[in-house]
Every structure is written in C-alpha cells, then in structure tokens.
Structure 1
C-alpha cells in the first residue's frame, strides 16, 4: 500500500513539474517515432538537413525541431516546430564556416510528446558540397566560337574564394554527333575560343567545373549550341601583313634619310644654263610695237567743259564746280 502511494505521488509530481503547475514542455515518449533517413547535404555551399516522416504516424499533427553542430562546438538550435521535412540551416542567423565539419539532428513532436533525437551524417562543407552547373554562353566569330563561362552563385562566399584552383572541362561536338565529342581540359580562363571548327556548322558546348579540394565534378551545364559562319582569316596572316607594311615604311624612311642629298640633286638639279640661253632670256625685246609704245608720249586727254545752271542763271558755285570737274 505504501509503495502504491509513493508511486502515485512520484507520477503526479512528474506531471505537475517542480513548480506545481502542469508541465507544458514536450515529454519524451517511446510512443512517438523518430524521423527516418535523416541526412545532411550541401549544394553550392549551403547546409540542408532533410528527413522522412516517422514510421508510425501520430494521431495528430507532427512538427519537427532541428539542431546542428560543428566539430568544435555543441549543438545549436536550427528550425523549430516546422511541418515540412527539411531545414536550410545556412539561411538561419548563424555563422557557418566554409571549411567546417557539421552534423545535424532532428526530432518529431506531437502535442506534449516528442521523440528522441535522430542524428544525421557528418559532412565537410567544402569537400562534400555539390557544385552547381556553370552558366555558358556562346558567340560565333567566323569559323570560331567564343565560349563565356559564369560560375554558379554560392550561398556562403564565392567559388574562387573557397577554391583557389578552379579549372573547366569544356566538351563540344557537332550538333547530332555527341558520340564524336571533343574536350579541352584544365582550362582556367572563363573566356575560351574554339578554333578547330568547320565553317557553316552548328556546334554544341557543355562545361563542368573541376576543383582540387572537392573530388566531385560539378553538375554539367546545359548544352548550348551555336553555328559558325564564313571562314575567318587566320590571325597570323593579318599579323604578318601588318609587320611587312611597317617594315617597308621604316625602310623607306631610312633610305630617304641616307640618300637625301642624291634625291635633292635629282629633284632640284643645280646645273647652269648654257650662255646662249642666258643671253637670249636676258636680252631686251626688239619688237617694233614694244619700241613704239616705249618711245611714244602719253596721248592727250580730250574733255569738254560742263556748266551747271540753276534757275536759268549760272552761279558762282556752279562755275566753281565746273572748274573742279574740268580739272
């Protein structure tokens, strides 16, 4: 009897809690199943905890609470009382290190009951994250195609800050002939020109990212296609032509400087004219008309006096004016 009374008192105290009020916190129970297939993954440097529903569904709505920890810290609170089956830990107001090792855990809750924690796998963020596909654009330049590559956007930091060595694997093929694809590996530039192409042909290009710290290749980009056009002049031909023109111009300048005296003598000769030509050119003209004009006196000017009459009477001013015009 005493044992039964003690058991009743212990159970009643547990339900009320130390304060004497009804306990509102969830009580761990073996009846509520834990979530299954709990896994921690990363894509483009995010931190995603996912799980499946418990094997034995509860009679009421089930909510989930998550936590995570790094290799140097204890568990921190993640998503609380959510109904969906995933929690993006990188979107929470917590600091996540690019090179950290992380583990997550989740438990289910229904009413005042909660299951035990179910722990996930551990991942090293920079080594285990799945790098997304790069963005590829093409532009045709004669019989060549220029490939421009844009890195995927990371949730934490950027691709080239996390990975100091980034290479591209470029695969290209004639449209409809994927089995004959060619590849350029270990390309570090994000702008590459494919020259070994046929004119007036459609080619498709696909790119993957390769890093040293992450052993996995990135998700390949979508295949992008572009057509070549007329065969373009080989670049070295234009370079050789330009060099020849410059060399010829320099040679002409050197020749002009070295042989400037000979050229000036050729263009402006200094040989004297024969004496008989000088006498002929310097002799005065002997034309009779020229002599007559030189020896003749200037002809006399013929003029008539003009009188200005006002009111029928000549005036003194009129006579003065007449004299001025006559003069």
Structure 2
C-alpha cells in the first residue's frame, strides 16, 4: 500500500512539473517611471527565465477604450513611451502591461499600477550660476528641461529654496525659502570668503532633486570693479592721444581737409580767353531794333508817314482729287 502511494505521489509531481514548465511565467515588478515629464514602462524578467526572452509592452490612458502598442519584441527591460506616435499628455493618467515571449511560448499579460504625470513625475535638479561683486553673490537659476512642455508651464506655482554656507561649514547652512524669481542676490556676506550654494525646486506633491553644489569667493568691500577701471582708462587714453595728434599735426590735418590745388596755366588761359562767337558779341553790344516805315511824298504838302504794311499771302488750297 505504501509503495502504491509513493508511486502516485511521484507521478503527480512529474505531471505537475511538466504543466508548469510548459507555461512561460510573466514579467515581474512592472511599473511606470517618469523623470522630467518622460514616461517609461519598466519590468524585471520572469523568475528563473532563460536568456533570450523578448517582450511586448502596451499602454493606455484613463480615458482610452483599449491598450495601444508601445514596444514589440524588444530584448530590453524598458519601453520609452514618450516619443511614440500617440502623444503623451502632461496631465494624463496611464496604465501599462507587458508579456514575455520565448519561441512559440508566450506569457500572460502583467499589468502595472497607474501613474499621473503631473503629480508623480520626478523633477530633476536645476542648474545654478554664481557671480560675485564685493561682498555679495548673485545666484542665477536655470530650470530643468522637460520632455513634455516646460517646468513653468506645467507648474506655475513652483518656488525655489536656496541654501548656502561657508566652504567647509555646511552644518551652519542658511536656507532662503519660497523664492519665486530665477535670480537672487545674497548680500552682507563676509569679504574674501568662499561660499557654496545649492538650489532645490519646492513642489510638495512631486519628489525633487537638489542641484549640485557650486562655490564662489566674495571680494573685498573696498574693491572697485576692475572692468569699469579698465574701460575708463582705455577711453581716457584714446581721448588724450587724439588731442595730442590733433595739436601736433594740425597744419597737416588742415591742408588734408582743405587742399589748395591750383589749375594748370593752359586751363587758366582757356577759361579767361574771350569767345569769338557773334552771338556772344551781340550780347555784349546790344542795339535797339530798327523800324522801317513807308514814306509817301505828297505834292504841295508835308511828308506823311504811314504804318508798316503787311503783304497778305494768297491762300493756298490743295486740290484733293
């Protein structure tokens, strides 16, 4: 009897292992990640799976009727959905699923949890730039670049927390909170001292990353900005040089600007020679016009002068034929 029971248990174990081995397990830890408004579906391979598996990933939004294809037959353990044909919206909620394939065997779909983009995306670190002037340091903040839209367009209410400390004394750091602008001037610092700064974007619902620490040294309180000194010195030097040149070479400059060129002698003779034209002579000695009148002699009487007479020309007709 014991032998029969042992045989039955062994047979059932072998059959059960065969059934399990014939079904490919699905991927594990299927989840979404979002960094600076990108959307990536990630997963781990099935437990005990051999190498060479291929994966297919699909996704859908909260308002979609069904899943859309994301990545097909890929060997990697992630699928970037940000740059697909169907756009991803910065305020959307999304779901995903993945299955594995080995030859003709296909695992069941494994679904992920949902993600809401604007509430769960990780906001990366900003870039900061420092410039010092005497005992003050100006901090300029550059927002991280988003895959979708921009930081200020998605989050209009964000602020910055600026933390600074003397180099080597980070335990005495000072934080300025709720700064809305991208530029701040920190004054009343110790002169000739190195300060380090770090900026974090303040957004309560989203995890954020602080910027890298950047350090800058302050100057002396009595320092005059060297750029202004150099520019002033150069301008005064150029002005003094121009005045000196104009005084020393004033005659040459005058003759250059107002030359006294003389015409050649044959040009002068030609221009001064009186023309021989009869018109020119008539213009020089004008004479009153002569009036010719008809004189008629009358016997026994005085002379009579009549007005000039005009001879009328006969009309000319054209014979038109």
Q: TM-score if structure 1 supplies the norm length?
A: 0.60
When residues 61 and 44 of structure 1 are mapped into structure 2, their CA distance, relative to the original with a 3 A threshold, is same
CA distance in 2 between partners of 1:231 and 1:209 (Å): 32
Q: Count residues with an aligned counterpart.
A: 202
Provide the rounded CA distance (Å) in 1 between the counterparts of 2:169 and 2:207. Answer: 24
Q: How does 1:193-272 map to 2 (within 5 A)?
A: 193-211=185-203, 215-231=205-221
Q: Work out the CA distance in 1 between the residues paired with 2:222 and 2:27.
A: 63
What's the RMSD between the two structures over aligned residues?
Answer: 1.5
2:54 to 58, 63, 71: 63
Q: Which runs of 5+ in 2 are unaligned?
A: 1-20, 224-321
Deviation at 1:91, TM superposition (A): 2.1
Provide the C-alpha distance between the structure 1 equivalents of 2:176 and 2:222, rounded to a whole number of angstroms: 22
Give secondary structure in 1 for the equivalent of 2:114: strand
Q: Is the contact made by 1:210 and 1:218 (CA closer than 8 Å) also made in structure 2?
A: yes
Residue 142 of structure 2 aligns with which residue?
Answer: 150
Distance 1:99 1:111, change over 3 A: same
1:98 is aligned, of 86, 90, 96, to 90
Alignment of 1:181 onto 2:181 = no
Match in the other structure for 1:72: 63
TM-score (norm 2): 0.61
In structure 2, C-alpha distance between the alignment counterparts of 1:192 and 1:164, rounded to whole Å: 19
Q: Is the 8 Å Cα contact of residues 198 and 213 (structure 2) preserved in structure 1?
A: yes
Deviation at 1:105, TM superposition (A): 0.8
**CA apart distance, 1:232:** 5.9
Q: 1:30 to 1:140 in 2, by over 3 A?
A: farther
Shift of 1:93: 1.9
1:1-327 alignment to 2 at 5 Å? 31-58=23-50, 61-73=52-64, 74-211=66-203, 215-231=205-221
Q: Structure 1: how far apart are the matches of 2:108 and 2:206?
A: 34
Task: Find the counterpart in structure 2 of residue 16 from structure 1.
Answer: none
Q: How far apart are 1:34 and its partner, in Å?
A: 0.5
Structure 1: 4+ residue segments shifted above 2 A:
none
